[in-house]
Amino acid sequence: MKRWLIGLLLVAALAGCARPKQAQRSAVHQAPSAKAAASSKAVASRRSSEAARAASSSASAANTKAASAQAASASASSASRARDAQAQAATLPQGTNHNARAAAYAHPAATVHAEMTGRLDPSQPKTVYLTFDDGPNLTMTPRILAVLRQAQVPATFFVVGRQVGPRTAAMLRREYDEGHAIGLHSQTHTYGFERTGNAGATAWEIDQSLAAVRRVLGVGFVTHAWRYPGGHMSWAAHLAKPDAVVAAHGMSWIDWNAASGDALGRTSPTTVPAMLAYHSRSLQAYGPHNATVVLMHDAPDKTTTLAALPQIIAYYRQRGYQFGVIA
């Protein structure tokens, strides 16, 4: 193939790699009264990722053509691609929400759900589950991952489907690769389906967020952990039908019985000592259980949570807790 044609194909490939901007609205917990723009943005976001996939696939087609022109390097290049594909297949989830290493400390969501509300059995171990809602994002997720890696403890990330896309895919993969678990926290992080107790809307939120994660981690991704935006406790009176939908999807809803207080708006602690004090008070308020599930948030403005995280980890480590993830 002529040099100029190869050049043209490469330019086309690079142009195809430009991803459409994806909506990155921070999906932090808000007061239920704050209505967030919902389905139209979700649809736009969905279209963006479809467009990106189409662009990506045409880019790789162009790459393939360019590579085939160079006969000498073609076989080496295809062998390398095959190795990459093999390595990726080995790391993709197969019926789980965590990697093989994390299986040693992964506990079924139904068990965690029962233990976090049940009476403490002192003969059984105490396990803490650090949980981070609302990600992934490009600014806070890597900082949380760095702290967790430094402390060598795992966490469970309850991700929002529309936060998951080409821009944040690498963050989601890192969560999985670094031994953490992934739960679902709805597609839109809007509260309408909870306020109305609408079964169809609940199913849509679950299915869409599951599909978003599967587009990144593969169809083998399965999670049993579901967290309602705002928590089940905020909407319990309306959730008979949504709860049935969650159960029909093979999932258990997971609230929390410890908190950092980082989603209270203007009353959230703004210093590390204040956050640690809030955390201690929350433990007293919820009482002792074999499973302690700590609510924290993975959003760009949660800098106090990030700063307090090493001491929150130390609190449980000093008291002999095991660190688990929710499967």
Q: Does residue 255 bind Zn ion (CB under 5 A)?
A: no
Q: Return d(Cα 315, Cα 189) in angstroms, integer.
A: 30
For every residue of 176-202, DSSP letters joined together read HHTT-EEEE--SS--SHHHHTT-HHHH
Distance in Å, CB of 180 to Zn ion, minimum: 17
Contact 19, 166 (CB under 8 A): yes
Q: Please measure the distance between the N-terminal and C-terminal CA atoms of the chain and give it in whole angstroms.
A: 51
Nearer residue to Zn ion within complex by CB, 134 or 255: 134
Polymer length in residues for the chain? 327
**Phi, then psi, of 247 in degrees rounded to 5:** -65, -40
Contact 160, 22 (CB under 8 A): no
Nearer residue to Zn ion within complex by CB, 229 or 324: 229
| Pairing mode, strands 127-133 and 258-259 | unpaired
Nearer residue to Zn ion within complex by CB, 32 or 218: 32
Footprint on residues 267-296 left by Zn ion (CB under 5 A): none
Q: Does residue 133 bind Zn ion (CB under 5 A)?
A: yes
Of 104, 298, 80, 88, the residue nearest 177 (C-alpha): 88
Nearer residue to Zn ion within complex by CB, 296 or 309: 296
Nearer residue to Zn ion within complex by CB, 133 or 175: 133
Q: Return d(Cα 227, Cα 131) in angstroms, integer.
A: 10
Footprint on residues 212-251 left by Zn ion (CB under 5 A): 229
Footprint on residues 143-202 left by Zn ion (CB under 5 A): none
Distance in Å, CB of 260 to Zn ion, minimum: 13
Q: Return d(Cα 169, Cα 259) in angstroms, integer.
A: 27
Nearer residue to Zn ion within complex by CB, 113 or 297: 297
Q: Does residue 262 bind Zn ion (CB under 5 A)?
A: no
Distance in Å, CB of 176 to Zn ion, minimum: 20
Distance in Å, CB of 250 to Zn ion, minimum: 22
Element (H, E) at 133: strand 127-133
Distance in Å, CB of 220 to Zn ion, minimum: 26
For every residue of 131-171, DSSP letters joined together read EEES---SSSHHHHHHHHHHHT---EEEE-GGG-STTTHHH
The region of 78-86, 125-133, 138-146, 306-314 touching Zn ion under the rule CB under 5 A is 125-133
Distance in Å, CB of 31 to Zn ion, minimum: 12
| Pairing mode, strands 127-133 and 291-297 | parallel
Nearer residue to Zn ion within complex by CB, 27 or 112: 27
Q: Does residue 134 bind Zn ion (CB under 5 A)?
A: yes
| β-bridge partners, 135 | none
Q: Does residue 298 bind Zn ion (CB under 5 A)?
A: no
Token pair recorded at residue 118: 């049940």
The region of 47-55, 132-140, 149-157, 245-253 touching Zn ion under the rule CB under 5 A is 132-140
Nearer residue to Zn ion within complex by CB, 30 or 56: 30
Distance in Å, CB of 112 to Zn ion, minimum: 18
Residue 286: how many CA atoms within 13 Å on its side-chain side? 24
Size of the site for Zn ion (CB under 5 A): 4
Q: Does residue 113 bind Zn ion (CB under 5 A)?
A: no
Q: Does residue 29 bind Zn ion (CB under 5 A)?
A: yes
Residues that bind Zn ion (CB under 5 A): 29, 133-134, 229
